[in-house]
């Protein structure tokens, strides 16, 4: 009898533990990715411009994508740059709302190879905030970055890619409706 009386309490503890683990899984994964550079997550630390940049040149490739049926035009302004680690560089990505409705978009960045992610520091990026677009509006969005001089010598090419998602429609005369990501 005593064993069956404790069963609901044990099951409740298991349920709470499972919920807690599930709740903490995403933050723990993000910390793990930031520490290891796994999954192309860049390090969020103060960027330091080197006074004496090396003569080394690293190719930085820029890629852009949207969901197959997403209502966006999205592309990098340049597909590749040769950069010196330790120097600050600027580029832009162009985005256009192809609908007759106001939209909000959000870009999700990724850096490859994963080992380079902790050496790729963005000081300014449109991916930090949601972007509101009027109907048919298009604009260039800035990215400012530095490659850390500590980037391993065997890495000769780094790829910065963004996927642009629709967050939602902004209120129009017909009301607000959510769009799928």
108, 142: one domain: yes
Cβ-proximal residues to 131 (8 Å cutoff; 6+ apart), any chain:
95, 104, 105, 106, 107, 141
Closest CA relative to residue 119, chosen from 52, 37, 31: 37
Cβ-proximal residues to 155 (8 Å cutoff; 6+ apart), any chain:
58, 113, 115, 116, 119
32, 48: one domain: no
Quote the percentage of the chain above a pLDDT of 90: 54
Mean pLDDT value of segment 74-96: 96
Name the domain count of the chain.
2
32, 111: one domain: no
Question: Does residue 30 carry a pLDDT above 60?
Answer: no
Quote the percentage of the chain above a pLDDT of 70: 71
31, 51: one domain: no
Note down the domain range covering 29.
1-36
104, 74: one domain: yes
Residue 177 is predicted with a pLDDT of: 40
32, 54: one domain: no
Give, as one character, the DSSP assignment of residue 172: B
CATH number for the domain spanning 54: value is: 2.60.370.10
Nearest-angstrom CA–CA distance, 81 and 2 = 71
Question: Does residue 144 carry a pLDDT above 80?
Answer: yes
Nearest-angstrom CA–CA distance, 80 and 62 = 6
16, 54: one domain: no
Mean pLDDT value of segment 97-111: 93
Residue 36 is predicted with a pLDDT of: 53
Q: Which residue has the higher pLDDT, 30 or 138?
A: 138
| pTM, two decimal places | 0.67
Torsion on CA atoms 120, 124, 125, 128, rounded to nearest 10: 100
Cβ(161)–Cβ(65) below 8 Å: yes
31, 63: one domain: no
28, 81: one domain: no
15, 56: one domain: no
Tens of pLDDT, residue by residue over 153-164, are 999 999 999 999
Across the chain, mean pLDDT equals 81
């Amino acid at each position: 009898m005593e064993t069956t009386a404790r069963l609901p309490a044990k099951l409740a503890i298991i349920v709470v533990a499972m919920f807690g683990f599930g709740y903490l899984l995403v933050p723990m994964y993000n910390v793990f990715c930031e520490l290891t550079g796994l999954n192309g997550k860049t390090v969020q630390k103060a960027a330091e411009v080197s006074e004496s940049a090396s003569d080394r040149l690293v190719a930085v490739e820029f890629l852009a994508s949207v969901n197959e049926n997403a209502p966006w035009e999205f592309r990098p302004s340049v597909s590749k740059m040769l950069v010196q680690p330790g120097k600050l560089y600027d580029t832009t990505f162009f985005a256009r709302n192809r609908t007759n409705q106001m939209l909000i978009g959000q870009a999700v960045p990724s850096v490859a190879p994963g080992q380079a992610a902790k050496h790729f520091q963005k000081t300014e990026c449109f991916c930090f905030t949601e972007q509101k677009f009027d109907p048919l509006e298009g604009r260039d969005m800035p990215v400012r970055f530095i490659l850390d001089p500590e980037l391993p010598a065997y890495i000769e090419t780094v790829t910065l890619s963004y996927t642009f998602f629709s967050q939602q429609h902004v209120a129009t005369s017909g009301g607000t409706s959510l769009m799928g990501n």
